[in-house]
Amino acid sequence: MKPGTCARMVCAAAVLALFTSTGAEAKTFKMALGDAAGGTQDAAGKKFAEVFAEKTGGKHDIAMFHNGQLGSEQDTVNDAAMGLLDFSVLAINNITPFSPTVGVLTLPYMILSLDEAVKLTQGDVGKELVENTIRDAGVRIVGWSYAGYRVLSNSKKPIKTMEDLSDIVVRVPKNEIMIDTYNSWGNNPTPMAWSETFTALQQGVVDGQDTPYITIHAMKFYEVQKYITNLRYLFLLEPIVISEAVFQEQDADVQKAILEAGAEATKFSAQYLVDTEEKLKADLIARGMQIDDPANDEKEWIEAATTEVWPKYYDSIGGKDKLNAILTSLGRPTVE
């Protein structure tokens, strides 16, 4: 061996080891979020990113893109299915068109508390929906965020009855279950992409919309809305999903880190809702918003939605027996 060859080999090996350990396989994963910073999606995403970085020893990290920068929430499902996007945090109603059985969690008045939301998503129902979503949509749910009830805001007047709602132009997502729910209340809603909603409210194209208190606050809807009706028709779940193609490309230790980060983000999100929602409601009132409860404990709203909407979706969610099994697990009356 020529003089200096050994030294050069040691040096080369050291450089190669340094390169391999600090960047050759490191990756910054992209995470799309439909909402602005400060909301439930943001809180869950940040927790996921924090834990994921810890679990991978800082080798991998997450870059978060808020306010639909990477496309509409439904677009992100398509992109993730094709392996063009790593992660998305999105309203569950935007997964339903791709994986219809998930729609069971978006039926009006299906989930009546945070405890029920946690029980369904963390139990057998949630596990089955994860598998169905991988099969149908090409994305894997790795965590859940809990945003609270989608309450109705508008700029025109207090709404306490279904009759009050009849002349209000309401923006809804492009989701058939939610459209049918408003139809059952005697309203003809306007389906619209989330990214267009604030401008439409600002310009008076629509009068109102429904999202949780946390989202109303994060999106600063108090600047263009005055009244809130404290509806409880839909408890919004915002799952963290990863492209199944991307997930399968990862080593076993990275997959494990993803799943563990999702579990911790899920637990964090439930507590975040408990700790945050009432404070934000108080702040919305301080900013001039008026909050009213529906008349008669929401009975007419519940009756119309459950009798007119639920039967239309028995087949798509897996059948009436599937629905009754879920209701039984929650200690609720079954449907005939």
pLDDT of residue 16: 35
Tokens coding 52: 């994921």
Distance CA 103, CA 336 (A): 20
Rounded alpha-carbon distances, angstroms, from residue 137 to 81, 120, 208: 6, 20, 31
End-to-end CA distance of the chain: 87
Q: Which residues contact 40 (CB under 8 A, 6 or more apart)?
A: 145, 146, 147, 148, 212, 214, 215, 238, 269, 272, 273
SS3 14: helix
Q: Residue 258 pLDDT more than 80?
A: yes
pLDDT of residue 20: 36
Mean pLDDT of 97-125: 96
DSSP string, 76-96: HHHHHHTTS-SEEE--GGGTT
Rounded to whole angstroms, how far apart are CA atoms 204 and 25?
50
259-311 tens-digit pLDDT: 999 999 999 999 999 999 999 999 999 999 999 999 999 999 999 999 999 99
**CA distances from residue 249 to 73, 108, 150 in whole angstroms, order as listed:** 23, 37, 36
Tens-place pLDDT, residues 230-244: 999 999 999 999 999
Crossing angle of the two packed helices 114-122 and 252-286, in degrees rounded to 10: 170
Tell me the domains of the chain and their CATH numbers: 13-329 (3.40.190.170)
Instruction: Return all residues near 284 (Cβ < 8 A) that are at least 6 apart.
Output: 213, 216, 217, 222, 228, 291
Mean pLDDT of the chain: 92
Query: In what order do the strands lie in the sheet containing 87-89?
Result: 61-65, 28-33, 87-89, 235-243, 139-149
Go through 255-281 and write b for each residue having 16 or more CB atoms within 10 A of its CB, e for each that does not. bebbbbbbbbbbebbbebbeebbeebb
pLDDT, one tens digit per residue, over 112-161 is 999 999 999 999 999 999 999 999 999 999 999 999 999 999 999 999 99
User: What is the DSSP annotation of 117-184?
Assistant: HHHHHHSHHHHHHHHHHHHHHSEEEEEEEEEEE-EEEESS----SHHHHTT--EEE-S-HHHHHHHHH
CB 298 within 8 A of CB 287: no
Is residue 27 predicted with pLDDT exceeding 60?
Answer: yes
Residue type, 263: A
| 31: phi then psi, degrees, rounded to nearest 5 | -125, 120
Asked whether residue 3 carries a pLDDT value surpassing 60, the answer given is no
How high is the pLDDT of residue 216?
97
What residue has token string 């994986």? 99
- Predicted pLDDT at 25: 80
Statement: residue 319 has pLDDT above 90: yes
What's the distance, CA 333 to chain centroid? 27
